[in-house]
Chain A
Amino acid sequence: MLRGFLVLVVFFLLGEALRLVAGLPVSGGVLGMIMVTFTLMLRGKVSDELAEASRGLISVLVLLITPGVVGAFFIVDQFSGYWTTVLVALVVGTLLSVFTTLLLMKKVTGAAVEGDEHD
């Protein structure tokens, strides 16, 4: 568990280092995630320690984002002129993008299944 956690923290630090050195506009966590995925693909297996640590952290993900979400209730005044815009953009935008995704996937998987019988 602790060894797995150390691996995750080290990859996070590597990601941060890469971001700073290469001047990338992508967060260190994301770079670390990409590096972990590629490292695992190269090794072809994931250790129990790492799998356990990542499961543990992901299971408390909701706990970790909650403090930031609380902040949304304290910025209502700050963005008071924009709440209609934000809500319309989110409702209409999400409906359109859900529709597009489902339609695209339906068309593309339908075509793939027809062209290639064994899925």
Chain B
Amino acid sequence: MTESSLSTDALTVLAAGPMLSVALTLGAFLAAQWLFARFRKPLWMPPVLIAAVLLALVVAVSGLGFDRYYAGASWLTVLLGPTTVALGVPLYQQMHHIRALWKPIVMTLPLAATLAAVYALGIAWLMGATPLVLASLAPKSVTAPIAMGIAEQVGGSISLTLGALLITGVLASLFVDWTAKWLKITDDRIIGFALGLNGHAIGTARAFEISPTAGAFSSLGMGLTGVFTAVFLPLAFQLVEPLL
């Protein structure tokens, strides 16, 4: 009895500051990278999923609870703002790629980025999803820091958005592999662009495994989709929301 109350006290004291959450997150991040390399980098199990599963287990079993964990981890998540801004730097550095291939990009991006959201939203709406679920799914193809901002703007649940993002990223990596083979597409630029546009950071990590060119085009697809969706989706949602 005394032992368990001692450990509860210790937990209360340690969880009073943010450092317990920070340490757990850092530890899970490093463990996930090690495990990912150890399992020969499986497509269906990216490091972020491994880290999240490890953390969820620890947070649930230790009695820390998600709310206390998340409050402490906000010392890390607050950096997502400047990190979103930082994505503008590689976007600028790839500007020569955009110039070289601007016509196909301009013709494809608005339609493809819109459909990336509309297909899933249409299906969810037909199946009777609530506005909260729809708002959380809308930014599913957008890179996480931007998607969290969009979800917040359109009134979604950030956790559901991140879950949807994770599933979408993993699926997009698999589907691009299959579909490119089926359509006999071998151009790394097209494959990379499709990976970034549909699968955000997880697709981009996959693209860098294919080739540096695929990686650059994936970053480009991810960045452009992020900006396009971030600007147009909240506006579109304002128009559509009264109809839901």
**Footprint of B on A, CB under 8 Å?**
5, 8-9, 11-12, 15-16, 25-30, 32-37, 40-41, 46, 50-51, 53-55, 57-58, 60-75, 78-79, 82, 84-106, 108-109, 112, 119
Contact = CB atoms under 8 A, between A and B. Distances in A.
B interface majority secondary structure: helix
Given A36-B89, A66-B25, A85 B128 contact: yes
What 8 A-B pairs have minimum CB-CB distances, sorted nearest first? A27-B149, A93-B120, A29-B84, A72-B163, A71-B159, A25-B234, A36-B88, A54-B86
Interface stretch (B4-12, B37-45, B138-146, B208-216): B138-146
A89 B171 CA distance: 12
B101 to A, nearest CB: 7
A105 B104 CA distance: 7
Contacts of A71: 66, 70, 158-159, 162
A114 B197 CA distance: 25
B52 A69 contact: yes
Contacts of A102: 176, 179-180, 183, 185, 190-191, 194
Given A28-B81, A37-B92, 15 more contacts: A15-B85, A27-B152, A54-B88, A58-B86, A62-B29, A64-B79, A64-B80, A70-B66, A94-B168, A102-B183, A102-B190, A102-B191, A102-B194, A103-B183, A105-B108
B190 A66 contact: no
Interface of B: 21, 25-26, 28-29, 47-49, 51-53, 55-56, 59-60, 66, 69-70, 73-74, 76-77, 79-93, 95, 100-101, 103-104, 107-108, 111-112, 115-116, 119-124, 127-130, 133, 137, 140-141, 144-146, 148-150, 152-154, 157-160, 162-164, 166-168, 171-172, 175-176, 179-180, 183, 185, 187, 189-191, 193-194, 197-198, 201, 226-227, 230-231, 234-235, 237-238
Contacts of A67: 21, 25, 55, 69-70, 73-74, 76-77
Given A63-B25, A64-B80, A105-B104, A75 B159 contact: yes
A58 B133 contact: no
B66 A74 contact: yes
Contacts of A63: 25-26, 29, 51, 76
Which of B80, B84, B179 has the most CB atoms of chain A within a 10 A radius of its CB? B84
B66 A64 contact: no
Given A69-B52, A92-B123, A26 B149 contact: yes
Nearest to B108: A104
Given A92-B123, A94-B175, A101 B194 contact: yes
